Homo-oligomer: A and B are copies of this chain.
Amino acid sequence: MLVVMKKGTPEKKIQAAVNAIEKKGYTARPIPGGDRVSIGILYNTGSVDAAHFLGIDGVKEVIPVTKPYKLVSREFQQENTQIKVGDAVFGNGSFPVIAGPCAVESENQVLSIATSVKKAGATLFRGGAFKPRTSPYSFQGLGENGLKLLATVREETGLPIVTEVMDVETFDLVEKYADIVQIGTRNMQNFSLLKRAGKSVRPVILKRGMSALLQEWLMAAEYIMEEGNNNIILCERGVRTFVKHSRNTLDLSVVSAVKKESHLPVIVDPSHAAGVRDQVICLAYASAAMGADGVMIEVHNNPEEALSDGAQSLYPEQFFSVMEKMTAIHDIVRKP
């Protein structure tokens, strides 16, 4: 249920309406929009009678919401959410590119890659300090030392930092260093982590689970938003199918579907989907053509010796030409 306030209703009257609704036993949450404010009714079980709210001062209309997700839905908010980080904006029709290695390995490595990708036009830097690995015997990341190296990259290049957070225990730490915290595919339904992210001051990149339905993904975002953090960037990274010629199957159609259902920006990670370099390049072009709100791409200065995911990392010189073509494709698609 969405209680739409009249245009120009003053803040004070909105608060009064919230109070009135809560007095009736409902949970109310104001949702600021472009030129009007709406109040979402959360947690109601079963249907609610619109007449309860129509009499409240300042209320223009009451709209039933047909989706199980609420705060993240376009029904609740029609305008795109825009998230500004450094020089990049997600959701305003531009095409920000996040680039960097899978894992932070050394100062020399991250600075070398960051300088390259910045020159090529990337506006954010990615790198993992805490790495979720299938095997306990694989390289697990440099931990806080990795985060410190990322901070050095920011100081030296000015690029904001995107890095993964794996658990509630290390959230404070990651949040301290990161400009955007990333929740990985295996944690998409780690609800405790989602709730913690909902209390973060940082924007969150929420990767789609390996076999998540659109609705489950949006519901995971709802967990974050419901705790108060509206700055969520969804990220498609391939789903698990029977296919054997790529690591995962990049589901580009979900980009269209997200935009229809939700006001949140959605980007694509072609690197983890493909698993091999030449597919990554083509899928990056396809992501731009699809109308995504950006991409996240792995670039490594020495892929042959990367501690993880070398085969899918682009060479810095490849990345230059990929940036150029992606941008040109994005421009064509954006043309009215």
Q: Are B285 and A333 in touch, CB under 8 angstroms? A: yes
- A106 at interface, CB cutoff 8 A: no
Tell me which residues from 9 to 37 in chain A have a Cβ below 8 Å from any Cβ of chain B. Answer: none
Contacts of A133 in B (CB 8 A): 191
Tell me which of A74-82, A83-91, A237-245 binds B: A237-245
User: How far, in angstroms, from A43 to B328 measured CA to CA in the complex?
Assistant: 46
Contacts of A245 in B (CB 8 A): 213-214, 253-254, 257
Q: Are A244 and B213 in touch, CB under 8 angstroms? A: yes
Instruction: Pick the most buried of A191, A241, A246: most chain B CB atoms within 10 A of its CB.
Output: A191
Tell me which residues from 241 to 297 in chain A have a Cβ below 8 Å from any Cβ of chain B. Answer: 241-246, 249-257, 260, 273-274, 278-279, 282-283, 285-291
Closest Cβ of chain B: how far from A168's Cβ, in Å? 6
Q: Are B325 and A252 in touch, CB under 8 angstroms? A: no
User: How far, in angstroms, from A256 to B254 measured CA to CA in the complex?
Assistant: 20
- A95 at interface, CB cutoff 8 A: no
Contacts of A226 in B (CB 8 A): 136
Q: Are A169 and B168 in touch, CB under 8 angstroms? A: yes
Closest to A274 in B: B253
- A136-B283 CB under 8 A given contacts A167-B192, A252-B250: no
